[in-house]
Amino acid sequence: MLEKVIIGTNIKEINLIDYLFSNQKTKFAVETQKLNFLRKQYDEAVEYLENELKITSEQENKNLKKEEQLKKIITYFDNAKGLIEGKEEVLKRTKDLYINALKEYEQTQLRMHILNLSIIILLFILFYVSKYFITKKIDNEEKLFKIRKALNITFFVIILVVVIFFNIGNIIYAATLIGVIAAAMTISMKEYLQSMAAWFQLVIGGQIQIGDRILININNNPVIGEVIAISLFKTTLYESINNTTSAQTKIAGRIVFIANSLFVNNYVFNYTHDKMKTIYDMIELCIPFSTDTQKAETIAAEVAYEMTEKYMEVASKQFQSMRKRYDMRSREFRPRIHLIPDTKEPFFVLRIWYVAPYHQIMELKSQLSQKVVKRLLDEGISFYTK
């Protein structure tokens, strides 16, 4: 039973977490209760043994063996009394040391912690009051967005500096606290930090510049337009008329705001990177199996070559500029004609690939489609219909 009374004699330095969540007063009370109960049982046991010895000694027919045994047991208990008294002394001394350390902490560091916390709460109140009045006075949403973000960053920096200043005396505690705050800021401002990193990459890397036409897939939805602004947190596009907007959204001319963080984990297609301002576009026509495919292919190639010859020369010059920057093999920009059989219906898909300037994709597609269709019909080549 004596071994169940555990007394830790080492009193470590008290901090705010220990004060709030690891108060040792309850533990001392439990150990004191255990020791008092043990002392009571000890006294009762000794009293019982002494009474038993007295009764045995006063009997007419003495039991010498029992009397001797009782004397040995009483002697053993007398020797054990010092152990109980020693534990009581250690418990009292340790409890007094802890109470003194607790009072000293309450009179010094706890007051400082309360003052620090009060200052931080006051900063929070001032921050939200300032934010409220600024929101009321500014009507421009874009300007308000920038001011809010600047205020948020400034506030977090001020709080971080204040916390470091308050804990400058305890380097380990300050480092731990800074790590916790930095982790919390990283989690809460993850998108903003990613946007800032992406902005840095966009500005320094030069993969995307103002005036470029780009396509970015966001949740499998293509967004395409010309870059008109690149700010710290977002990139602004002007939605253009093109194949994607014609076939899918069927609307164009909108201003699109894209968070820079989306450039980190999404594919981005640049139509106008560096000096390359031309791309390959395609027209698809369906002709039956019975058609003279050789003739159809020749006509399509002639019309495409005739209408895109000037763009081929431009693309070739632009590509030579690209080769100075990237390791790319030489390439021809002549029209490509492919005849692919359909897997379900009896017709060929006539695919005409040709070079087009990025800002005239739809116009050139319209003109080229009309000419190819007219030439094919004039030559007696019909199109597939069910």
- b vs e for 129-144, b when ≥16 Cβ sit within 10 Å of the residue's Cβ? eeeeeeeeeeeeeeee
The helix (run of H) or strand (run of E) holding residue 361 is helix 361-378
Q: What is the mean pLDDT of residues 132-152?
A: 73
Q: State residue 31's pLDDT score.
A: 80
Q: What is the mean pLDDT of residues 292-309?
A: 93
Q: What is the mean pLDDT of residues 122-146?
A: 77
Q: State residue 303's pLDDT score.
A: 94
pLDDT band at 172 (very low <50, low <70, confident <90, very high): low
pTM of structure: 0.51
pLDDT digits (tens, 9 = 90+) for 256-291: 888 888 888 788 888 888 788 888 999 999 999 999
What percent of the chain is modeled with pLDDT above 90? 20
Q: What is the mean pLDDT of residues 288-316?
A: 92
d(CA 276, CA 311): 12
pLDDT band at 56 (very low <50, low <70, confident <90, very high): confident
Amino acid at 372: V
pLDDT digits (tens, 9 = 90+) for 334-346: 999 999 999 889 9
d(CA 2, CA 83): 8
Q: Which long-range contacts (CB under 8 A, 24 or more apart) does 321-326 make?
A: 321/274, 321/275, 321/276, 322/273, 322/274, 322/275, 322/276, 325/274
Token reading at 3: 């071994």
Token reading at 174: 């300050």
Please tell me the CATH code under which domain 278-378 is placed: 3.30.70.100
Parallel, antiparallel, or unpaired for β 255-259 and 213-218?
unpaired
Q: State residue 138's pLDDT score.
A: 75
Q: State residue 168's pLDDT score.
A: 61
pLDDT digits (tens, 9 = 90+) for 187-236: 666 777 778 888 888 878 778 888 888 888 887 788 888 999 888 888 99
CA–CA distances in Å: residue 352 to residues 45, 268, 355: 108, 25, 10
pLDDT digits (tens, 9 = 90+) for 83-123: 888 888 888 888 888 778 778 877 777 777 788 788 888 88
Q: What is the mean pLDDT of residues 22-34?
A: 77
Q: Which CATH number fits domain 207-270: 2.40.160, 2.60.40, 1.10.10, 2.30.30?
A: 2.30.30
Residue bearing the bigger pLDDT, 53 or 9 = 53
